[in-house]
Structure 1
Amino acid sequence: MTALFDLSGRTAVVTGARRGIGLAMAEALAVAGADIVGVSAQLEADGSEVERRVRAAGRRFTALRADLGDRAAVHRLARDIIALGPVDILVNNGGTIARTPAAEHPDEMWDQVIEVNLSSQFILSREIGRTMVERGRGKIVFTASLLSFQGGITVPGYAASKSGVAGLTKALANEWAAHGVNVNAIAPGYIATDNTQALRDDPDRNQAILGRIPAGRWGRADDLGGATVFLASSASDYVNGVVLPVDGGWLGR
């Protein structure tokens, strides 16, 4: 049974790997045996926390910097990744959020969130997914959100982008499952990261959120590790087009 989750000899690309959920995903994949290509706009060339954790797991680490909000940079990133060699696992985790009420939500804010959270994800999936289809195997894992199912408050661009990620997950799965490429997504619940700091700092919102989570706590980034390894491993070879909530029971409430 353990062999189903063994990622030895595989290479995983993780975007948004410098901190938070991406850092935890990269570490989990490395512990399971994968070498890691970490991507982030501010990722240090050497000595990053993600590099330290990956190397502590005995795996190789490669750092790439790219701004997912820059279309040309995303195309360069795809070329750089492909030039490194075959990619077995692509974790499309990098993202951003902007909080402004819908009536005041500016075009620039909307455009930035959609570009980072959805358009860049499609470009990377298309370019790297093409090589997976040609090889007849591969795993793509998106980071979706509870707002792939719900609308949220004051984050219309984020909600739209994450609903788009759920749709993109299913669309790619429909086309690529027959070619040995599994495309799925993880929908994190309310996780204690920089993106949710404003909610945790608001006593009313914090209490309202905690009151709905059956597990009774905010999630931790490492709560996503097991689901990531599952969807990246042979254990999920017959899982296609799924958006898997890891939310402490939020959606079941």
Structure 2
Amino acid sequence: MRVSVVAATFVVAGFVKGVTGMGLPTVAMGVLGTLMLPAQAAAILLLPSFVTNVWQLFAGPSVRALVKRLWLMMAGIVAGTVAAASFIAGGGGQWAVAGLGAALTLYAVAGLMAWRLSVPARHEHWLSPAIGALTGLVTGGTGVFVVPAVPYLQGLALKKEDLVQALGLSFTVSTIALAIGLAREHAFAVGDLGESLFAVVPALIGMGIGQRVRGSISPETFRRWFFICLLGLGIQLLARIFV
């Protein structure tokens, strides 16, 4: 039963990523977080997230330029994630579930409200490490990589292709940092890679399907229903703390 649920979850999560360029860890954590502890869900998503994000990162020509521009943000992500990993690894208990629910709810509301940041270039040198560190704290506490990294990167006025690559870079670094943090807290070891490795195949299948149908789906309609589903998952996880 668990194997089929994990496989189905990653097909759906991969499909979302194939259509939108993001969302695999968010969907996977949201669904699996209703069935198991966030640390267990985070350990399963490590390899699918890494493989699909590396694929996305190197799908264009601007990797070196993006790394040079965003390295302070990436350093902040690593530091914040490793520092906060003890929370998702067990120290937070039920509050880690609530934190995951809050992160999903906030991200869904921001998406449904179409909030858009505008980041002046003169502030990027200090905002990047701050946003990175905050994203890392959220990642280490909940396993969700998107808040506030995605709104910030969208606010940098990058070209579409560069934005997709920048998201791939951010998510790849977040995945590696989360693996380091979980291993440091003894919540993840090399021997635990079996289930995560199994999840790579359905994630790639879903991502391939999503990329093929991307042009035939209305992006706005898809995004709206994506955020509505995330909102429902987030509220459900938040409600569990009161049950």
- Tell me which interval the TM-score lies in, with the shorter structure as reference length: under 0.3
Higher relative contact order (CA 8 A, sep 6+): 2
Normalised by the size of structure 2, how large is the TM-score?
A: 0.26
Normalised by the size of structure 1, how large is the TM-score?
A: 0.26
Higher strand proportion, which one?
1
